[in-house]
A and B are shown apart, each in its own frame.
Chain A
């Protein structure tokens, strides 16, 4: 690795001392040194860069940087070609069986991996991010704890994947959040003052549905939004029940069921990749507000004023609201719990179209 030192612009001997932004307490290993240099470079104020560009040292640095990059590329290629697969296998056989920190013998593929860094193979951020796109959050968190580069990429992956949610809920703009806080605190509330939406935190407890005669309804629901009557709780019908697009048409193997309580929403146009959901929400039945459990259904053909590709709701179960007194006001914001309704010999009930099925048991988790 001596040739690398020849190519590196020696920061320590430079007239330019690292700014205070560089942590002086970090141990000065060769890897840390490069990272510190990188952080210092990023921290240079933009107006200073313009003046730096007029100096000879700047041009020397750029040239040295390019030489370093070339050395790195050729060094990586050389080290990869140095060990052939046969040599790697021979070396693996010659050493005692390596074991991981858990004491388990490592598979040959894992032994090979120790000689070849993942980062060397996948130096491209876009490639790593594509792999991360498939990882669920828990695994993404764990991979973010493996090295600093993956920590940054894992966070970037999460940010990319949540952009729509963050944008819709104003979570990716701290200035808007600050303005929202000011509005709550009564600051700048004149009619001419700029204003934003105040983001609302939804309910945090999970709702579990079991024992429903239609098994699609069984599962854990999260509070994911609100309608004019209160909060709504949803879960996907099944992960694979996505709306697909085949040969220019939207298709889905579903039949529309007629609803007793005129459960058709204003039709939405189904978007490819959209998950169909089961929904627990309050609705009015004439003048009485009740909890309903329903599922979204994709219209596959034009019928009764509903065009093909529209998403409508089919209703299956209902219940009365919990009474404050039987449950706290906070609990009453959640779907009626079977255990609380039972105090009055009540529970979730079926509709005409679902009379042959068992009604569900609905409870709160957490």
Chain B
């Protein structure tokens, strides 16, 4: 493992101003970081200052969430996450994502529902495809096999109007005729 001290580092700053350092190679998985650093390097007026000052403000991500994002990026740099195929190649989260660290990263014991959604939004905002896929996969397996009412409860969604519900059931009668809930 390459020592972080020997590698060029970048600073990510959260919405609250908390700062996180990580190697540039790890951070540049995020499109937001990559684009920000490219913009800074294009600025010819302050070349020296820009080279020393690799900082990126991640203004829409909270401190807690950014901490987890940084954890992910650091680990991904050491052990890249395998790409998730579609259709999924398994019936459970563990089958589709066999890498233990990534399983633990989004395990229910380690991450609340709220944080999972926050992470998902952050991954989309920062353009971190593997993290976005991992979070989406976790959400998918939470929803797979659940009834509409259970999904609505889990995600706190507003209901369809009675008319919309009636139309939806009519449209998808072919699925419900097989006695699925």
Q: What distance in Å separates the Cβ of B126 from its nearest Cβ neighbour in chain A?
A: 12
Closest 3 interchain pairs by CB? A118-B155, A121-B117, A134-B140
A145 B169 Cβ-Cβ under 8 A:
yes
A100 B157 Cβ-Cβ under 8 A:
no
> Whose C-beta in chain B lies nearest to the C-beta of A272?
B85
Say yes or no: A101-B153 contact (C-beta < 8 A), given A121-B121, A130-B132: yes
A151 B144 Cβ-Cβ under 8 A:
no
Out of A26, A115, A240, which one reaches B89, CB within 8 Å?
Answer: A240
Residue A131 is within 8 A (CB to CB) of chain B in the complex = yes
> Whose C-beta in chain B lies nearest to the C-beta of A131?
B136
Interface size on B, residues (CB 8 A): 48
Central interface residue in A110, A115, A142, by most chain B CB within 10 Å? A142
Bound CA–CA A139/B124 (angstroms): 23
Bound CA–CA A88/B156 (angstroms): 15
Bound CA–CA A7/B2 (angstroms): 54
B158 proximity list for chain A (CB < 8 A):
31, 119, 147
Q: Which of these binds chain A: B23-31, B32-40, B48-56, B108-116?
A: B108-116
B117 A135 Cβ-Cβ under 8 A:
no
Residue A242 is within 8 A (CB to CB) of chain B in the complex = yes
> Whose C-beta in chain B lies nearest to the C-beta of A110?
B154
Out of B88, B157, B172, which one reaches A147, CB within 8 Å?
Answer: B157
A258 proximity list for chain B (CB < 8 A):
none
Could you give, for residues 124-146 of chain A, a 1 whenever the CB lies within 8 Å of some chain B CB and a 0 otherwise?
10110011011111110111111
Bound CA–CA A135/B151 (angstroms): 13
A50 proximity list for chain B (CB < 8 A):
none
Residue B159 is within 8 A (CB to CB) of chain A in the complex = yes
29 interchain pairs (CB within 8 A)?
A32-B161, A100-B150, A110-B113, A113-B114, A116-B114, A118-B157, A119-B158, A121-B118, A122-B117, A122-B121, A124-B121, A127-B124, A130-B124, A131-B136, A134-B86, A134-B136, A134-B140, A135-B140, A135-B143, A136-B87, A139-B140, A142-B147, A143-B143, A144-B168, A146-B151, A148-B161, A151-B168, A242-B85, A242-B89
B139 proximity list for chain A (CB < 8 A):
131
Central interface residue in A109, A139, A141, A146, by most chain B CB within 10 Å? A146
B164 A109 Cβ-Cβ under 8 A:
no
Bound CA–CA A141/B177 (angstroms): 13
B156 proximity list for chain A (CB < 8 A):
113-118
Bound CA–CA A114/B117 (angstroms): 13
Residue B75 is within 8 A (CB to CB) of chain A in the complex = no
A interface, by DSSP: helix, strand, loop or mixed?
Answer: helix
B151 proximity list for chain A (CB < 8 A):
142-143, 146
> Whose C-beta in chain B lies nearest to the C-beta of A136?
B144
Residue A199 is within 8 A (CB to CB) of chain B in the complex = no
Residue A217 is within 8 A (CB to CB) of chain B in the complex = no
Residue B68 is within 8 A (CB to CB) of chain A in the complex = no
Give me the interface of A with B, judged by CB distance under 8 Å: 26-27, 31-32, 85, 88, 100-102, 106, 109-110, 112-119, 121-122, 124, 126-127, 130-131, 133-139, 141-148, 150-151, 239-240, 242, 273
Residue B152 is within 8 A (CB to CB) of chain A in the complex = yes
Could you give, for residues 114-147 of chain B, a 1 whenever the CB lies within 8 Å of some chain A CB and a 0 otherwise?
1001101100100000001100110110011111
B148 A113 Cβ-Cβ under 8 A:
no
A134 proximity list for chain B (CB < 8 A):
84, 86, 88, 136-137, 140
Residue B175 is within 8 A (CB to CB) of chain A in the complex = yes
A133 proximity list for chain B (CB < 8 A):
86, 136
Bound CA–CA A110/B148 (angstroms): 15
A131 B120 Cβ-Cβ under 8 A:
yes
Bound CA–CA A272/B151 (angstroms): 34
> Whose C-beta in chain B lies nearest to the C-beta of A241?
B89
Q: What distance in Å separates the Cβ of B125 from its nearest Cβ neighbour in chain A?
A: 8
Bound CA–CA A141/B175 (angstroms): 8
Q: What distance in Å separates the Cβ of A54 from its nearest Cβ neighbour in chain B?
A: 37
